[in-house]
Structure 1
Amino acid sequence: MNHSGAESNQRAAVEVTKDKNGIEQVILQNTRGASVRVSLHGGQILSWRTDRDEELLFTSSKAIFKPPQAVRGGIATCFPQYGSRGLLEQHGFARIKIWVFDENPPPLHPNDSNGKAYTDLLLKPSEEDLKAWPHSFEFRLRVSLAEDGYLTMISRIRNINCKPFSFSFAYRTYLSISDISEVRIEGLETLDYLDNLCEKQRFTEQGDALTFESEVDRVYLSSSDVIAVFDHEKKRTFTIQKQGLPDVGVWNPWEKKSKSIVDFGDEEYKKMLCIDGAAVEKPITLKPGEEWTGRLELTTVPST
């Protein structure tokens, strides 16, 4: 299954392996040796490494890789619910289901295929899902790794029901950082946010950048399409570009909460930051036959 796009350039590769529980994973590798690992368990991205073999995503040392547990870390897809805003389990069911490969994915746009490795995963509702959330949908997730190491996720969700449905959505992204107290986020200043630590009350961000000195669990509303996370110690900046995802979830459990999370190390909050491209405040409604697209692109650049 090598749909690397650039056939003339065999070094952009797509390889399928299995984890120790027998669940298939796809490894995408670009021409420079950067890689992305995606699991069919939850359609989850478990690893994104630079061409110098540096891991850019955080996964807890206590993460559980056995369905129906969600994996603590990487990039998870929250659908059809984000957080506890709804009747389903936390963050919806997509992140705990076993997805399938599309063996013949539609090709990338010709201008887009240069040296790019990609894979398409599909989620279709089971009988059980339809009992919990009675809406028929097709969900296609395309994960691609470009020549320059950019990681892109494109979700396409189609309503194949005879009636409309609504959902919320997020890419829950655990970034690996040097130290949470050395990190700042730009692109959220002046925005309103819902604070999950204050019963989802609405506040306005006053700071000119977001820094961390205690637990944070917020959803920033109607942000611009580009957010930057500066890691001073690693001299690295993550850029998060998004389309169809107006909101941004920001989470760090800090010390006390970390100790209460079973699949999370007591001190691991120092090395991670969750920043989620999301559509939460105004759920997305699809009429029969309609399709929604949500796109997230992550890049990293050295910074001073």
Structure 2
Amino acid sequence: MGVTETAKSVIINTASGSSAEIYLFGATVTSWKAGGKERLFVSSKSALDGSKPIRGGIPVCFPIFGPPPSSPAEYASLSQHGFARNQTWKLDKIVMDRPEGVSIRFLAPSPPSSFQHAYKLAYVVTLTEHQLSTDVHIVNESEEQEFKFQALLHSYLAIPDSSKIKITGIDKQTNYKDKILDGQILQSDGGELVIDKPIDRVYQKVPSQEIHVDDGAGSGFKVRFRGFEDCTIWNPTEEVGKNIADMEDKGWERYVCIEPGYVREFKTLAPGEEFIGQQIITAL
């Protein structure tokens, strides 16, 4: 069997030797091994006991991304990145269990009582030899009211040295919000991105829907997304990273966050409507 349940997580394996571990807390993917290498970064200082969100892996941000908005009230009272990454999910079903690939589905619990919206939130994780696919499914279960949300997969991709990577795939003239520059809206020049200073950019409606990371050591990643239209790219470097309490020393040198999502605005679902946001990461 390619699926193993423990008290805290679910581990999936393929015949090729690839594996992934998903914590029930936050449905956070904490490990993905492909080609004999760990492909995700998790800080050694991260809490793994459910006391706070996991620092690393692939946290699920929902129903907001970033600081809460000023209104409406039930959104304004939320914590950073929403509550999904702080909830204990459950394994709902094994979608596929074959030697070449394994796919499992998780369901989120009900929202906090202060968040009065009827929705269903599911998360499907699929593993093959060289790919990890993570799909968010959101259904508005209200018969009368619209449901507004943001959703993002905060993926920490493991790399040997962030100062040597090159990021491509952002089309020229793609708008982005630069959080380092107080939220200014700027345009991409279409060139390679390098990490030589703190970067925290939300690229909006990325036409290619595909980002490439050359890790400078003959390997890297291809990140494709569908349904999700935006992509945040983040690395704090030492300038900001040294002030993150649960970030290990020099941890920022060993990851880059490539984060597909729908976050430039709120996505609105009509009663009964479904949203699917998909991320497919290929280890190169």
Common fold by TM > 0.5: yes
Offset of 1:222 from its aligned partner? 1.1
**Which of residues 253, 262, 266 in structure 1 aligns to 2:249?**
266
- Report whether the alignment pairs 1:152 with 2:133: yes
- 2:17 maps to 33
Give the root-mean-square deviation of aligned CA atoms. 1.6
The equivalent residue for 1:116 is 101
Match of 1:226 in 2: 210
Q: Does residue 1:98 correspond to 2:85, yes or no?
A: no
Aligned to 2:192: 209
CA distance in 2, matches of 1:51, 1:176: 13
Task: Give the CA deviation at 1:56.
Answer: 0.5
Q: Distance in 1 between matches of 2:240 and 2:65?
A: 20
List aligned pairs for 1:2-13, cutoff 5 A: 13=2
For residue 137 of structure 1, the aligned residue among 119, 127, 140 is: 119
* TM superposition shift of 1:201: 1.2
Structure 1 pair 210–85 and aligned structure 2 pair: CA distance change class (3 A): farther
**Aligned amino acid, residue 288 of structure 1:** P
Q: Does the CA contact (< 8 Å) of 1:250 and 1:273 recur in 2?
A: yes
Alpha-carbon distance in structure 2 between the residues aligned to 1:290 and 1:114: 34
* Kept in 2: contact 1:38–1:44 (CA 8 A): yes
Report the AA paired with residue 245 of structure 2. V
Deviations, residues 129-169 of structure 1 (Å, cap 9, x unaligned):
130x22121111110102x3310111111111231111111
- After superposition, what is the alpha-carbon deviation per residue over 1:81-139, rounded to whole angstroms, capped at 9, x for unaligned? 0111522211111011000111x45x45xxx967211211101324xx130x2212111
- 1:238 matches 2:221: yes
CA contact (8 A) 2:87 2:109 kept: no
CA distance in 1: counterparts of 2:219 and 2:35, whole angstroms: 15
Name which of 15, 39, 51 aligns with 2:4.
Answer: 15
Aligned pair partner of 1:172 in 154, 161, 173: 154
| SS of match in other structure, 1:84 | coil
* CA displacement, residues 273-301 of structure 1 (integer Å, 9 cap, x when unaligned): 11100111132111111111011000011
Output the amino acid matched with 1:157.
I
Specify the code of the residue in structure 2 equivalent to 1:282: E
Aligned partner of 2:264 among 254, 271, 281: 281
Q: For structure 2, which runs of at least 5 residues remain unmatched after alignment?
A: 70-75
Residue 207 of structure 1 deviates from its aligned partner by 5.2
Going from structure 1 to structure 2, the CA distance change for 1:203 and 1:218 (only over 3 Å counts) comes to: same
**TM-score, with normalisation over the residues of structure 2?**
0.92
| Percent of aligned pairs with the same amino acid | 31
CA distance in 1, matches of 2:101, 2:268: 32
Please give the alpha-carbon distance, in whole angstroms, between the structure 1 residues aligned to 2:230 and 2:34.
27
Contact conserved, 1:249 with 1:277, CA < 8 A, in 2?
Answer: yes
Change (3 A) 1:175 1:186: same
After superposing on structure 2, the runs of 4+ consecutive aligned residues of structure 1 that deviate more than 6 Å are none
Q: Distance in 1 between matches of 2:9 and 2:98?
A: 22
Matches of 1:219 and 1:184, distance apart in 2: 17
Q: Is the 8 A contact 1:28 1:145 kept in 2?
A: yes
Q: Hey, what does 1:7 align to over in structure 2?
A: none
